[in-house]
């Protein structure tokens, strides 16, 4: 396997959407990464995998020489294949002893290879399909929610299996599961797609720091807005009082000049308030 995944200025939206799901996204993914793809429901995790698989039309550039393989992809029910035959379809040159070695990592016995794939339990099918993804060194697996049919022990076994491998992307709502083996995280946020080196705990730590900084920044901006609003009210009230209290012509001219100056100060102050409010909006957009 040789090559990275380069996504440059990629924009995508479904026909029913008003705003793009992805807007001008650029990321570079290394071929050896154990990448956890995370984000809230509806943010486009599976969509991103489909874009890599060239199943959806998009604007921008996606460049890679890697051979992507997607999970889950079940054999047709009409194909009465054994588990061994399912694996051979993925990697025809693989010998049985190599399959048995991978089975041992998945806590499966060798005899399962001779059983019909479609009579296996959901967890056993998941493990066989995952093994098939990694039999060919030239493939780069794209794994979508592998834990759906796994119990607690099964998740532990599959997590340990994936920890032995390198070069894949995995989506899972189970962040505890991901934390045991990923070495990079790609997070689809509200307004950005960010890549972080480390596991889920690293990402959670950085996310919390970013949220704390955003809250601190927002509080400072709110305080500054309150101060500016107070200044604006005082300036307006002062100018009006000066104009109303002046009787003679010279005094009125001076008051008018001061009133004009107070209005200019009030206008500049209100512009600063709007700028601060925009900053608050921008900070909130960064949060997941």
Does 29 share its domain with 137? Answer: yes
Residues 154 and 254 grouped into a single domain: no
Please report, for the domain that includes residue 89, its CATH number. 3.40.50.300
Q: What is the pLDDT of residue 76?
A: 79
Inter-CA distances, 113 with 99, 119, 146, Å: 8, 12, 20
User: Per the structure block, which two tokens stand in for 216?
Assistant: 């601190």
Give a yes or no: residue 14 inside a domain. yes
Same domain flag for 29 and 139: yes
Name the domain boundary from 136, 167, 198: 198
Residues 163 and 62 placed together within one structural domain of the fold: yes
Spatial contact of 238 and 259, defined as CB atoms under 8 Å apart: no
pLDDT at position 176 is 95
CA angle at 140 for the pair 83 and 145, rounded to the nearest 5° = 65
Q: Which two tokens stand for residue 272?
A: 């600063």
Last residue of a domain, one of 155, 178, 198: 198
Q: Could you tell me the residue range of the domain that residue 16 belongs to? A: 5-198
Do 35 and 112 sit in the same domain of this protein? yes
| Residues 101 and 183 occupy one common structural domain | yes
Same domain, yes or no: 15 and 153: yes
In this prediction the pTM is 0.76
The answer to whether residue 214 sits within a structural domain is yes
Number of domains in the chain: 2
Residue 251 lies in a domain: yes
Whether residue 194 is contained in a domain is answered as yes
pLDDT of residue 241: 53
pLDDT, tens digit only, all 288 positions of the chain? 557 999 999 999 999 999 999 999 999 999 999 999 999 999 999 999 999 999 999 999 999 989 999 999 988 766 789 999 999 999 999 999 999 999 999 999 999 999 999 999 999 999 999 999 999 888 999 999 999 999 999 999 999 999 999 999 999 999 999 999 999 999 998 888 999 999 999 988 887 877 777 677 767 766 776 776 676 666 556 555 555 555 555 555 555 555 566 566 556 666 665 665 665 555 555 444
Residues 170 and 53 in one domain: yes
Whether 78 and 218 share a structural domain? no
Residue where a domain terminates, one of 198, 219, 252: 198
In a domain, 155, yes or no: yes
Q: Are residues 130 and 185 in the same domain?
A: yes
In a domain, 85, yes or no: yes
User: Would you call the peptide bond into 72 cis, given omega within 30 degrees of 0 as the criterion?
Assistant: yes
pLDDT at 252: 52
Same domain, 54 and 98: yes
Whether 217 is in a domain gets the answer yes
- On whether both 187 and 62 belong to a single domain, the answer is yes
Beta carbons of 66 and 140 less than 8 angstroms apart: yes
In a domain, 203, yes or no: no
């Amino acid at each position: 396997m040789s090559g990275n995944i380069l996504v440059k200025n990629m924009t995508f939206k479904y026909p029913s959407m008003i705003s793009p799901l992805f807007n001008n996204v650029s990321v570079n993914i290394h071929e050896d990464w154990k990448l956890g793809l995370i984000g809230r429901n509806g943010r486009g995790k599976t969509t991103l995998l489909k874009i890599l698989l060239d199943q959806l039309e998009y604007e921008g550039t996606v460049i890679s020489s890697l051979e992507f393989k997607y999970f889950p992809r079940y054999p047709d029910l009409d194909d009465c294949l054994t588990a061994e035959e399912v694996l051979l379809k993925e990697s025809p040159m693989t010998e049985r002893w190599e399959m048995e070695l991978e089975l041992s990592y998945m806590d499966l016995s060798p005899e399962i290879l001779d059983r019909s794939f479609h009579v296996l339990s959901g967890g056993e099918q998941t493990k066989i399909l995952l093994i098939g993804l990694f039999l060919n060194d030239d493939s780069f697996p794209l794994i979508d929610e592998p834990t759906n049919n796994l119990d607690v022990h099964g998740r532990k076994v599959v997590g340990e299996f994936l920890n032995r491998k390198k070069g894949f992307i995995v989506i899972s709502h189970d962040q505890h599961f991901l934390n045991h083996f990923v070495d990079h995280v790609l997070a689809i946020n509200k307004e950005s797609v960010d890549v972080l080196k480390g596991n889920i705990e690293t990402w959670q730590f950085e996310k919390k720091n970013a949220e704390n900084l955003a809250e601190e920044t927002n509080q400072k901006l709110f305080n500054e807005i309150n101060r500016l609003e107070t200044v604006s009210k005082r300036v307006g009230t002062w100018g009006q009082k000066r104009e109303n209290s002046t009787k003679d012509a010279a005094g009125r001219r001076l008051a008018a000049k001061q009133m004009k100056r107070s209005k200019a100060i009030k206008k500049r102050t209100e512009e600063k308030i709007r700028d601060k409010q925009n900053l608050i909006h921008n900070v909130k957009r960064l949060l997941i």
